[in-house]
Amino acid sequence: MSSFTHLHVHSHFSFLSGTAPLDALVERAVTDQFTHLALTDTNALYGAVEFAQSCRTHDIQPIIGMTLNVAAPETTVQSGRDGPGQLVLLATGATGYRSLCRLSSHIQGRIDRAEIGQHGLSWDTLAAHHQGLICISGGLRDWAARFWQLDARAAAARWVSRLSGLFDERCWLGLELHTPADGKLATELIALGQRFGVPAVATQPVYCLSPQDRPTLRLLAAINENCRLAHVPTHLLPDQGHAARTVHWLSPAEMQQRFAAFPAALAASAQIAAQCQPALPDGRPIWPILKLPPNTTPDQALCELAEDGLREQYGSSPPGLPHEGKESPTPNVRVETKAQNARQRDHSPLPQRSVRGRAGEGLSSAAESRLRHELSLIAQHGYAPLFLIVADLVAFARRQQIPVSTRGSVANSLVAYCIGITTVDPIAHDLLFERFLNPERTDPPDIDLDFCSIRRDEVLAYVRDRYGEEHVALVATISTMRPKSAIRETGKAHGLSEEEIKRLVGLLPDTWHPDPRRRVRSNLDEILAKIAEAPLRAVVSDAYAILGQPHHLSIHPGGLVITPGPLTDYAPVQWTPKGFLVTQYDYSSAEAIGLLKIDLLGIRALTVLDQASVLVQQHFDADFRVDAIPLDDAETGAAIAVGDTCGVFQCESSGAQRTLRQLQAHSVADLAAANAFFKPGPATGGMAAAFIRRYRGEEPAAYLHPALAPILQSTQGVLLYQEQILRVAREIAGLSWAEADHLRRGMSKFRAHEMETMRARFVAGCMRPAPQGADFDQRQAETLWEQIKAFAGYGFNQGHATAYADVSYRSAYIKTHWPAAFLAARLANHGGFHHPAIYMAEAVRLGIAVHPPHINQSDRHFTLHFADSAPGQAQPVLWMGLGQVKSLRRSAVRAIMTERRREPFTTLRDLLGRVDLQQKEIVHLIQ
């Protein structure tokens, strides 16, 4: 084992100033036999969690740190000409991690963060958040070394004294050795430190893994500054323009050779590493503080809400779970049950369903038993707060008449159904709860909510108001360099013209996906073979060197975290342009440290459904409600069966419409089956034709073994849903829930030895003799394994499919009975799967006139009007919106609509005299 460890290490998460991926850094540490390794990216902690996970995988103790840019402490010395100074801060434990989060959040969470990055953080801010941190002066970029080299010895002494006074025995002077002159400076700095009791430690700033990566550092700096390679300010380069300074990884042997004259400083790295203990939250769920009545636990509150909902849904009176201590009164939680929601709404895009199996039909006892089972499992895992929080969000949305639905496996939960989160009856649809939460799951299940896309921000604002602005943040994603963006950025840095950049971009593939199995990427040699000019070949080679390089922080489309205390106690954050906090961690990192994460997604399908229902109420049926739509309407079923679903959610593509026709789909269950069948697993698994014939009743269902009949009966003997994979693995093969879920997630991720081990266990489990097992023979067991192997990883979640099918059916109902209202709403929301022209053609096909934009009649978007084609016969007409006029600015649309309220426009001259329009806008309005 090495006695030395690197304590000043930058990864590619030092955006555009480091090149090393985290795994590569850890692998190098393994090679060099490190027991500890630090990550100290500049002013941020983006990669801290992923780094810690990688270290633990290789039995290395991660040290969470940060390189901090600090402002010049002296105004009388020309000290800032080479940029801010640097300090390396290392967390000794949880307190130090919180300090790092607060420091980074202070920098990244400010509007003037670019200025802070340029000039450095103030001393006062550092002093306010230094607890639990080890401070190492930043080597040649620290103020002590820089002052000393400027012959400002007194200023250097004051700086070291200041650091020592703040960090006390946790303060160290970092030494760097690149040239003989650095050895002399190191000796003098050691003497300076001894005056104040500050020892020295050998450091090497690592910005890349090898000297060959050095040119890439200059390229990244040019991209960051949006300048040419030759014009990069030297102080922005890791080596500050000094060719002799090394900024790559040095092995322990190289460090020992370099610091042979300073053995104590070299040994000090191990002393510092030993002081750094695990710092990140350990991954246990971190729940927000709920507002519950005194002496009421989350489990009690959830149990009572669920029991109330069960009585309303099934007319049962469940005994419920035993409560600890005395029975508490009904908790005063701001969550309405479905009946209360229905009374509070005039219309609801996704209300409670009419479900079969009410009281008196034999389902009450089954519902009671299942509710007790689910509540017991939820209590066992401690997940009651998650259900209460999500139920409150859904209740708020329904109070405000914001369209809301769920996605994912939460639809499989009876508890979620009873407390109003979902609208799909899991008993009526035979949905397996363990797909959502199985007894062996170790992390909280996902509950993903869909909202009207134009009103999602209202829900976010409610969450911030309810839990506190400092307790709520959106979740980040890390945007990385893709082939085309890498070419564009590299081309600009090389000084290429726009035409040359466009030519190179044209040689690249059109698509790119982060999953290597789905990545469409031409080989570098194939691209270079098409280019003769050396400068252009250099651009392409450089661009491929930065593929996958993190470029900037983006926002996850729906992820949200809520914490019990200020977010900066748990994770570093920064601000979005809309004024929301966003974590520096991506979704997987936020989950790994135990933050409560909820997906609040905006989808246009719900907006269309809501706006269409409003139009129906305004123009056709004042009493219409989406929740009153009958789910067995013959006309709607007939339209679905022939694939007449242009504009209908998830039913628009030619492949989806073909599937609907093949299955003769009529109902919500049929739509769910069609949606699942259209996925690669079922549709390409060798059973497609048989499934279609069986589903249409043209041949009887057949089963590989009679034991599969109870599991596959609803899908005609064919594996269609993920829930069926779980049941086969558990009931037929006897696998554990953890193994079954692993199988369900997809065998494509298995290594060869894992695949063989799982196959052997599965086959042996299927062949267990009765009554313990299903008594498959070898051939049957092997065949079933191959069927699952072809299916796993592609199967669809039945609960998700059913919830989305419910939206699809209700959309299809409105389109079937009031196509003008539906298509007006669809077009007003910028179309959908197809170009708006397709929906206009659909309207014409259905006999609905479509009028071009009218300066006095059109709104911003498509609107529904009526024209009298005969006395007393008003026909619906769709007016195109002014927003459909090419190049017409939003400000121009607002001005037109404001002016015509005073008086309609009469001539073109009148329009031009009252509204300031650009030449191209005038031309397009005339056209």
Q: How far apart are CA 386 and CA 413, in angstroms?
A: 13
pLDDT of residue 681: 58
What confidence tens digit (pLDDT) does each residue in 876-909 have? 999 988 877 787 888 888 888 888 888 998 888 8
User: What's the rounded mean pLDDT across residues 366-375?
Assistant: 94
Q: How far apart are CA 731 and CA 436, in angstroms?
A: 17
**CA dist 66 → 406, 477, 685 (Å):** 39, 20, 50
Joined together, the tokens standing for residue 299 give 């489990």
User: What's the rounded mean pLDDT across residues 690-696?
Assistant: 87
- Helices and strands (DSSP H and E) totals, the chain: 39, 16
pLDDT of residue 509: 67
pLDDT of residue 323: 37
> Residue 383 is which amino acid?
Y
Three-state DSSP state, 287:
coil
User: What's the rounded mean pLDDT across residues 180-202?
Assistant: 96
Which of 296-300, 534-538, 577-581, 585-589 bottoms out in mean pLDDT, i.e. has the lowest?
577-581
109-131 burial, b if ≥16 CB within 10 A, otherwise e?
A: beeeeeebbebbbebebbeebbe
> Residue 123 is which amino acid?
W
DSSP state of 451: E
Quick one: pLDDT band at residue 346, thresholds 50, 70, 90? very low
Closest CA to 63 of 31, 18, 29, 86: 29
Q: How far apart are CA 163 and CA 167, in angstroms?
A: 6
DSSP state of 728: I
Higher pLDDT, 262 or 521: 262
Joined together, the tokens standing for residue 140 give 């040649």
What string of DSSP letters covers 857-922? T--SS-EEEEEEEETTEEEEEEEPPGGGSTT--HHHHHHHHHHHHHS---SHHHHHHHS---HHHH
Spatial neighbors of 100 by CB under 8 A, at least 6 apart, are 45, 64, 65, 66, 89, 91, 133, 572
User: What's the rounded mean pLDDT across residues 469-484?
Assistant: 93
Q: How far apart are CA 876 and CA 290, in angstroms?
A: 50
pLDDT of residue 78: 52
pLDDT of residue 77: 53
Q: Residue count of the chain, please give it.
A: 927
pLDDT of residue 39: 98
What string of DSSP letters covers 1-25? --S----SB--TTSTTT----HHHH
What confidence tens digit (pLDDT) does each residue in 10-29 have? 999 999 999 999 999 999 99
Higher pLDDT, 527 or 663: 663
User: Given a cut of 80, is residue 466 above it in pLDDT?
Assistant: yes
- Using an 8 Å Cβ cutoff, are 39 and 51 in contact? yes
Domain annotation for the chain: domains and CATH numbers: 22-275 (3.20.20.140), 298-465 (no CATH), 483-547 (1.10.10), 630-802 (no CATH), 848-926 (1.10.150.870)
What confidence tens digit (pLDDT) does each residue in 791-836 have? 766 678 899 999 999 999 999 999 999 999 999 999 998 877 899 9
Q: How far apart are CA 738 and CA 729, in angstroms?
A: 10
What confidence tens digit (pLDDT) does each residue in 490-531 have? 999 999 999 999 999 888 766 554 444 444 455 677 778 788
Quick one: pLDDT band at residue 870, thresholds 50, 70, 90? low
- Using an 8 Å Cβ cutoff, are 10 and 18 in contact? yes
What Rg value do the Cα atoms of the chain yield, rounded? 32
- Using an 8 Å Cβ cutoff, are 207 and 14 in contact? yes
pLDDT of residue 915: 82
Task: Kindly state the helix (H) or strand (E) to which residue 743 belongs, with its residue range.
Answer: helix 737-745
pTM score: 0.85
Sign of CA pseudo-dihedral 189, 194, 198, 203: positive
Three-state DSSP state, 562:
strand
Joined together, the tokens standing for residue 624 give 């219409």
pLDDT of residue 747: 61
Highest-scoring range by mean pLDDT, 109-118, 330-339, 355-364, 711-720: 711-720
What confidence tens digit (pLDDT) does each residue in 634-660 have? 999 999 999 999 999 999 999 899 999
pLDDT of residue 867: 79
What confidence tens digit (pLDDT) does each residue in 381-419 have? 999 999 999 999 999 999 999 999 998 999 999 999 999
DSSP state of 133: E
